[in-house]
Homo-oligomer: A and B are copies of this chain.
Amino acid sequence: MIRLVIVDDHPIVRGGLRDTFAGSDDIVVVGEAADGAEGISRATLLSADVVLMDLRMPGMDGVAATAALREHSPSARVLILTTFDSESDVLPAIEAGAIGYLLKDALPDELMRAVRAAARGESVLAPSVTQQLLGQIRKPGPGALTDREREVLQLVANGSSNREVASALFIGEASIKTHLQHIYDKFGVRDRASAVAEGYRRRLLT
């Protein structure tokens, strides 16, 4: 019997998941939680085999909760279940120790198969997520910003001029211009405004 804990802040989603697994004879929902911190304690106390974790939650989010859970209960497999499939969400989740990544438009059937696979220690990724990962690994160059570039872009989005970004990062203004040029090249844009826009579209900025 696979012991499953559901962590999601929406009661309706929790209800739908509970319902989905109610018809299964090898999976039992032993607990639910509405945020990351609660999810960790539930999963630990109830010795969950698999944790279905939402990414966007108030308080501790899914990535942080996944990382913490990997420490507390290494035996619990974390399966991310989220609405968002954008590139910036997937990698941090996987890095934090999630074994799978599903989207909320998954059918109940897929969901059950994924939970069983996760319980066996196998990795399950939603097709669109897999594509993204492959795309990122195959060519880590085009499109992906370096940490420094992201940092610069975030400051630009916050209204800093090149000079202000430079002094904020303790480097020269010329370097900022270079970083921005690289960002423009990667994004295929020609100015900072659309670079910021692209940054938001790719969920790199907050």
Q: Are B200 and A12 in contact (CB under 8 A)?
A: no
- Segment from A106-114, A130-138, A141-149 that makes contact with B: A106-114
Q: How many copies does the complex hold?
A: 2
Q: Are A157 and B16 in contact (CB under 8 A)?
A: no
Chain A interface size, as a band, is: 35 or more
Q: Are B107 and A11 in contact (CB under 8 A)?
A: yes
Contact with B along A7-22 (1 / 0, CB 8 A): 0011111111111100
Segment 140-168 of A: residues with Cβ below 8 Å from B: 156-159, 161
Residue in chain B with minimal CB distance to A159 = B194
Q: Is there a chain B Cβ closer than 8 Å to A191's Cβ?
A: yes
Q: Are B111 and A12 in contact (CB under 8 A)?
A: yes
Q: Is there a chain B Cβ closer than 8 Å to A104's Cβ?
A: yes
Question: In the assembled complex, which residues on chain B have CB atoms less than 8 Å from the CB atom of A189?
Answer: 159
The distance in angstroms between the C-alpha atoms of A197 and B157, with both chains bound, is: 5
Q: Is there a chain B Cβ closer than 8 Å to A43's Cβ?
A: no
Which A residues contact B (CB, under 8 angstroms)? 9-20, 83, 104-108, 111, 156-159, 161, 189-197, 200, 205
17 A-B pairs besides A10-B16, A14-B16, A200-B205 with CB distance below 8 A are: A9-B105, A10-B104, A11-B105, A11-B108, A12-B16, A12-B17, A12-B20, A12-B108, A15-B16, A15-B20, A16-B16, A16-B17, A158-B194, A159-B193, A159-B194, A159-B197, A194-B196
